[in-house]
């Protein structure tokens, strides 16, 4: 099962992806993590994109699409990807469609984590990430401790792009460029709305329930050779649907 998680900066895409990969044996693809790794080890690509990321702008589509091609084409990742932070532009949407078709896969579901702008700033301000295992924590809401984090403390860092100025820019860029593409997935009947203002565990319970349901019915369809498409409106129709607004 391949899925996409949308949401503004600080919505909890990484946090919820961390939870999902453990329970559903999926692989998280965070384009933000991949790009930051390039900056950290100062590859040519990393040097070129550093100022773009620090300003909260988008990295060019072809750069990101090339990274994604490598991942989708790897047989180890066949039909087990969570796209976190990708696609972000309509051109990335079309590139993803082409790649999935080429490698005989599809997106089963798209979540939109809906969060208010003022909530986002506090979350991002308190965020720390582990540069070794890539888990995401928060000094206010979800502090790292011996139960939820096994790596040494020295790996915990703040992100280079988590300044107040950058976060506001990232939020604006999201609203202008990424929000409109939600409509694309909505029209395909794949987009489900999740209230991201709740507690981490409450949000995850909801996501987990939906994914278990979808996995079950997808398997039933596979077993009895019933077209999956015929069931989607029945299954997705019982959840909260996205209401598109250009504001």
Residues that bind ligand AP5 (CB under 6 A): 7, 9-15, 30-32, 35, 52-53, 56-59, 64, 85-86, 88, 92, 123-124, 126-127, 136-138, 141-142, 161, 170, 199-200, 203
Instruction: Draw the binding track, 7-46, toward Mg ion (x: CB under 5 A; -: no contact).
Output: -------x--------------------------------
How do strand 81-84 and strand 2-6 relate by DSSP bridges? parallel
- 88 catalytic? Reply is yes
Q: Minimal distance in Å, beta carbon 219 to ligand AP5?
A: 29
- 69 catalytic? Reply is no
In contact, 247 and 151? CB cutoff 8 Å: no
Whether the link from the prior residue into 87 is cis, omega within 30° of 0, is: yes
Q: Minimal distance in Å, beta carbon 159 to ligand AP5?
A: 7
Q: Select the binding partner of residue 110 from Mg ion, ligand AP5, none (C-beta < 5 to 8 A, by kind).
A: none
- 47 catalytic? Reply is no
- Which residues face 241 on adjacent strands? 192
Distance CA 29, CA 87 (A): 11
Q: Taking the CA atoms of the chain, what radius of gyration do you get in angstroms?
A: 18
- 13 catalytic? Reply is yes
Q: Select the binding partner of residue 50 from Mg ion, ligand AP5, none (C-beta < 5 to 8 A, by kind).
A: none
Q: Mark residue 126 as left, alpha or beta (left: phi above 0; alpha: psi -120 to 50; beta: remaining).
A: alpha
CA 216 to chain centre: 22
- 208 catalytic? Reply is no
Identified catalytic residue from 117, 158, 159, 177:
159
Distance CA 186, CA 145 (A): 39
Query: Of 141 and 184, which CB lies nearer to ligand AP5 in the complex structure?
Result: 141
> Within a 13 Å sphere around the CA of 149, how many CA atoms are in the beta-carbon half?
21
Can you give the binding site for Mg ion, defined by CB under 5 A? Answer: 14
- Annotated catalytic residues are 13, 88, 127, 159, 170
């Amino acid at each position: 099962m391949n899925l996409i998680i949308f949401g503004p900066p600080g919505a909890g895409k990484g946090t919820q992806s961390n939870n999902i990969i453990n329970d559903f044996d999926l692989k998280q693809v965070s384009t933000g993590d991949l790009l930051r790794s390039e900056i950290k080890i100062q590859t040519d690509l990393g040097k070129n994109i550093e100022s773009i990321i620090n300003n909260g702008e988008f990295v060019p589509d072809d750069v990101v699409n090339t990274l994604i091609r490598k991942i989708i084409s790897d047989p180890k990742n066949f039909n087990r990807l969570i796209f976190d932070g990708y696609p972000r532009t309509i051109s990335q949407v079309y590139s993803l469609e082409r790649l999935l078709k080429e490698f005989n896969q599809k997106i089963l579901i798209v979540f939109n984590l809906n969060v208010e702008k003022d909530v986002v700033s506090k979350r991002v301000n308190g965020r720390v990430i582990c540069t070794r295992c890539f888990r995401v924590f928060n000094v206010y809401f979800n502090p790292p401790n011996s139960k939820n984090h096994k790596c040494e403390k020295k790996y915990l860092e703040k992100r280079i792009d988590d300044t107040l100025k950058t976060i506001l820019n990232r939020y604006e860029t999201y609203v202008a460029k990424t929000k409109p593409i939600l409509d694309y997935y909505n029209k395909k009947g794949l987009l489900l709305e999740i209230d991201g203002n709740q507690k981490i565990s409450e949000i995850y319970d909801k996501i987990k329930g939906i994914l278990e349901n979808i996995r079950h019915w997808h398997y039933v369809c596979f077993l009895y050779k019933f077209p999956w498409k015929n069931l989607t409106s029945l299954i997705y129709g019982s959840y909260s649907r996205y209401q598109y607004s250009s504001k």
